[in-house]
Amino acid sequence: MTQVFHASRFFGAMSLAAAIDAGAFGPPGSAERVLIVTNNAPIPEAALGLDEAPGFGALRDRFDRIVSWNEIIAPLHPSDWKPRSIEAPMLGRLLQSALGLEHIEEMVLESVIVPPARALPGLFKDAMLTIYSDGLMAHSPTRDVLPGEISQRITRLLHLDLVPGLTPLLLGEYGVPAQPLPPGAFTDVVGRVAAASGPMPEGEAIVLGQYLSSLGILTPDEEFKLHADMIRGVIAHGHRSIVFKPHPAAGRRQGRELAQIAAGLNASLTVAPDEVPAEVLFAARRARLVVSCFSTALMTARRFFGLPVATVGADLLLERLTPYENSNRVPVTIVDATIPRLDADGTLTEPSVGDVPGLVEAVAYCMQSAAHPGLRPAAEAYVKANGPMRYFKKKRLEALDLIAKPAPPPPPPPKTGLARLKQIVKG
């Protein structure tokens, strides 16, 4: 028996290790465990692979073998390539033979929506599927409709319990049960990775960058301004040493420019290595404040490491996200509704949302009403109690009959006899 795991991010690999340690995949030695790693960097050849990153040695012993998907499909890029349906059976047999996989009992994937994880179930059609969540995205409705030959094979959704009392919606329309991982298993794994990673940069505050310009949500200039506002807010809050953790895909330019802004305000900024997960920074350094826009790491910082957190720019993202069905909407909503806002003058404003589960269900219904008709009563109750807040678009609420449509304009006044005569002559 063989269990095949897939990871493209260090966060995902740590989640897998925690799940294995917690017994989610049976006792040690019960099956051969093969980890397929992918490097999704724009130029993978110039980027450090997941299994080459500092600290990965702390995860390696959970797996019997580690295989590079990039090497298998080279020179194609893993984020772009997916097999044609007519070729999938043949390629599946060839891959199974080349990898020495006699019988795959279970495939454990970080996604079934986009390549490369989306390609694997189509190649190995006999394996049952476990999906493990990509942070806060697990609370979003499933973005795309899945074919039955995939959805019927998914047995569970493993996830970190990031928001107490909130059950993930991902894959819920297919009847897939959500299974939370014990928080202690995850923090233990992160601690081991931190110990194996070497010295970490020091700072009173940690600012987590997000690569929103690549998604077309913000322009590069707007994204830089957002990060600069975070730096200024942190300094205004009283912190003089900052660690900036850029998004792995963002490059180093922003870090250098942000360091200049910090220096102009009599503070220092150190850029953390790209390959170091934010959670490893949390475990290695007891930060006094962690700031980002809507990163999942805000929740892991608070939930698993007990660190103070704050958000900047979530309200802007709520306006900019298009279409309304954008899967980032629920993560932004959760962060805006549960995390204090850091203002320009350094003050922290606590969120005022009381019923977070009700809000998330209402937003999810507005995003995917056809897939989640059972959420309509919750949406009706929430909107009735709270009105059309900034988490909703008024026209969408009207289209779903969650608020009354505006009255139609009055009919034009009847035309006079002279006007009728002119119309007849004109005609």
In one-letter notation, the amino acid at residue 20 is: I
Rounded alpha-carbon distances, angstroms, from residue 96 to 72, 87, 224? 12, 14, 45
Residue 275 is predicted with a pLDDT of 85
- CA proximity to 247, closest of 211, 201, 293, 300: 211
Could you count the other beta carbons within 10 Å of the beta carbon of residue 27? 7
Q: Which residues contact 319 (CB under 8 A, 6 or more apart)?
A: 390
DSSP 145: P
Per CATH, the number for 200-349 is: 3.40.50
DSSP 117: T
Q: At what angle do helices 10-21 and 183-196 cross, to 10 degrees?
A: 120
> Could you read off the pLDDT tens digit of each residue along the chain, which spans 427 residues?
899 999 999 999 999 999 999 999 999 888 899 999 999 888 888 788 899 999 999 999 999 999 999 999 999 999 888 888 898 889 988 888 888 887 888 999 998 888 888 889 888 888 999 999 879 999 999 988 999 999 999 999 999 999 988 999 999 999 999 999 988 999 999 999 999 998 999 999 999 999 898 888 999 999 999 999 999 999 999 999 999 998 766 656 788 899 999 999 999 999 998 889 999 999 998 899 999 999 999 999 999 999 999 999 999 999 999 999 999 999 999 999 999 999 999 999 999 888 999 999 999 999 999 999 999 999 999 999 998 888 999 999 999 999 988 877 777 766 555 565 566 666 5
> How many Å apart are CA 153 and CA 300, to the nearest integer?
30
| Topology (CATH) of 2-194 | Rossmann fold (3.40.50)
Query: Domain spans of the chain?
Result: 2-194, 200-349, 356-399
Residue 184 is predicted with a pLDDT of 93
398 phi/psi in degrees, rounded to 5: -65, -40
pTM of the model: 0.91
> How many Å apart are CA 34 and CA 67, to the nearest integer?
7
Structure token pair of residue 86: 């007519």
Residue 367 is predicted with a pLDDT of 97
In one-letter notation, the amino acid at residue 257 is: E
> How many Å apart are CA 402 and CA 382, to the nearest integer?
10
Domains 2-194 and 200-349 fall in the same CATH topology: yes
User: Contact, 251 vs 42, CB < 8 A?
Assistant: no
